[in-house]
Amino acid sequence: MKADRAYQIAAAEFYAGKFDDARQAFEAIGKDASSPWQGISRYLEARCLVRQAFNSISGNNADQMANFDPDQMQQAVILLESLLKEQPKGISRLSILNLLDLSRLRSNPDRKSVV
């Protein structure tokens, strides 16, 4: 129950837009070998980075893609690429690839899809 509660708190922080807090909480879950959520924790850290990247820059130009923080998006790319190699339990390869494609599209629009 303790592990489930930690996951619920991290998820609540994510959906409340507290991405730094959520990412730290998911990181702690990833270090807990007894947690059933350990396998998906790093993927959820990447989701925090992607959301934070889009929410950290205000404004939008209708002629371009949504604004985002390129450093945070690149951090997400690095994390997701490492997850592809690790193949963690609890998250599908396709889910990782989809988020990685989105992150790469934003950070490097000329690069081809990995799927």
DSSP state letter for 41: H
- The structure's pTM equals 0.83
Q: Rounded to 5 degrees, what are φ and ψ at 55?
A: -90, -10
Q: What is the pLDDT of residues 45-84, one digit of tens each?
A: 999 999 999 887 665 554 455 688 889 999 999 999 999 9
CA angle 112/23/25 to nearest 5° reads 145
The Cα–Cα gap between 79 and 26 comes to: 13
* DSSP helix/strand/coil, 89: coil
Q: What is the pLDDT of residues 76-115, one digit of tens each?
A: 999 999 999 998 889 999 999 999 999 998 877 666 555 5
Per-residue pLDDT reduced to its tens digit, 30-46: 999 999 999 999 999 99
